[in-house]
A and B are shown apart, each in its own frame.
Chain A
Amino acid sequence: MSGEEFVPLSLTPMLIGIFAAVACALPGNFLLLRRQALIGDAISHVVLPGIVFAFLMTGVIATWPMMLGAAGAAIVAVVMIEAIRRLGRIEPGAAMGVVFTTMFAGGVLLLEQSDTSAVHLDVEHALYGNLESLIWLDATGWSSLLDPEALRYLPTELPRMALTLLGVCLFTALFWRALKISTFDEGFARTMGIRTNLLGLGLVITAAVAAVAAFDAVGSIIVIAMFICPPAAARMMTNRLEAQIAWSVLFAVLSAVLGYVLAGFGPLWLGGGDAVSAAGMIATVSGVILAITARFGPCRGRSGVPATV
């Protein structure tokens, strides 16, 4: 494909897909090892009441109030999950289950009771996002990347997602050592003076921010899949956390690129007509990668690689 076609039509959605996938996969590694991977699922449900609430407050469908509402709801949910987990002394999965179903149901009630008939709060949008529509029509080719006039009309989702990814990377790098030790051995981490409660909360809030930003751009299917599939597949490839992170980033990028291309051209190659949902295809590809690594990955056994290695 020439730059004239690729840059305006495919470059920005692909980049947004990649940024979203990596931003979710990075914290996903730690959440997975902490048996909290369901948090992605939880967050993508609890944003509904946040979005409805933001709409009721402002009366308009606009990105920023909705993202703020979603982020607020996610943080409320995270704090509630932590509180229920600690006060109720139950496992995190159960606490998440209680909170996200309740808040999601509350969001549905709120939506039903309020007068939103005049506007279109689109459930499908929430699920699939609108990755394909995030095109950059002002671009004429690769040279547009250096053209300030064209750059002004980049889809706003791109810089927003890039900034989110940067934030996630910073958090991971800065607290790398603390995250590693408190995920492996929380008690030991505390004796070193690491405030594991705060760090755990910070991790979940980072995940929530990534989820909300990604949710806005690419929908909740990708969010849910990217928190779990690339990190889980990466775990099958290696027995070192450092390498697992690298593999998970690779798998996230691979899922985003391959999924986007397959969604756009796969049906054509098969003789079909229309393209299929990119978000759905990206999530599916990540699931297939997980299936393949689960079958053939070198470190898929519970007790690691064979003793001879």
Chain B
Amino acid sequence: MEIVKTQAQGDLSTDKAPEAKLAQSPLAIRGLTVSYGEKPAVFSVDMTVEPGQMTAIIGPNGAGKSTLLKAALGIVAPVSGRVTIFGRSLAEQRARIAYVPQRASVDWDFPTRVIDVVLMGLYRELGLLGWIKGAHRAKALDCLERVGMGDFATRQIGQLSGGQQQRVFLARALAQGADLYLLDEPFAGVDAATEKAIISVLKSLREAGKTVVVVHHDLATVAEYFDNVFLINTRRVAEGPVSEAFTEETLQAAYGGRLATSQIDKLAKA
């Protein structure tokens, strides 16, 4: 019964946004609820990502940021809700999506080299049995160059620093050649040089008309890096351009007592 109810809510909220806008949006989410056990991690969330812009998903720890992204990508199954990618279902649009998981989500001791990880971004293109040709390798190397990792192609991935591993993941996403890039905490625990390299790649993607959505944890850089924010704390708190949605009220609502008022003041003014 629960499920039916939330589904109905999701459908109601669909009516609020004009259909045309939904069809254009690289990622539109309606009435999404995801639960690990009893307590929902994401509850009845609507989200409409603006095309050709950079959007940050922010919120306190455990607010459902990563879960929202994973549900949008079909990695975790939602209890209810609807996700459209450029107006169509996820299954139809997989080729237009690139994903960068959290660095800590994989085992970096896995026996593989840097270039092999980037080649994984081409697996959709290659299919089950397609042969890896020189052109594929050249493309993978080019993606590594773009993140400043060209010299590391034949290294075992376990030998890289955290920042270097993150750049390899970004290179793999570039190899996917997508229109929508979804990144889960790409700046977590990386060095300053890596952060700079990643943001410059993301900005070049935006210049090329791509859409970038980033789960982000550093409130201090939100205004500098992003066009839009999506604040979440299990439910949607605010969504819109940084100047409108990233304010004292919305931060207070999302983080509650977890941020000192003085911190929020400073961020909102920045």
Contacts and interface: CB of A to CB of B under 8 A. Distances in A.
B109 A303 contact: yes
A249 to B, nearest CB: 15
A181 B75 contact: no
B99 A191 contact: yes
Nearest to A173: B129
A174 interface: yes
Given A185-B105, A191-B99, A193-B91, A239 B128 contact: no
Interface string B60-83: 000000000010011100000000
A226 B101 CA distance: 33
A152 interface: no
Contacts, number: 84
A33 B120 CA distance: 17
Interface stretch (B27-35, B111-119, B216-224, B244-252): B111-119
Contact of B110 (A89, A178, A183): A183
A4 to B, nearest CB: 45
Given A181-B120, A187-B105, A193 B94 contact: yes
Interface string A148-177: 000000000000000000000000001101
A295 interface: no
Task: Please list the 9 inter-chain residue pairs (A to B) with the smallest Cβ-Cβ separation, ordered nearest first.
Answer: A304-B156, A239-B156, A304-B158, A191-B99, A303-B158, A187-B75, A185-B106, A191-B73, A184-B110
Interface of A: 33, 89, 174-175, 177-178, 180-181, 183-185, 187-188, 190-193, 235, 238-241, 243-244, 299, 302-305, 307
Given A183-B110, A244-B111, 10 more contacts: A33-B110, A184-B106, A187-B99, A187-B101, A190-B75, A192-B94, A192-B124, A238-B111, A241-B111, A299-B156
16 contacts: A177-B128, A181-B120, A184-B110, A187-B73, A187-B75, A187-B101, A190-B75, A191-B73, A239-B113, A239-B158, A240-B111, A241-B111, A302-B109, A304-B158, A305-B156, A305-B159
Interface of B: 36-37, 70, 73-75, 91, 94, 97, 99, 101, 105-107, 109-113, 116-117, 120, 123-124, 126, 128-129, 156, 158-159, 172
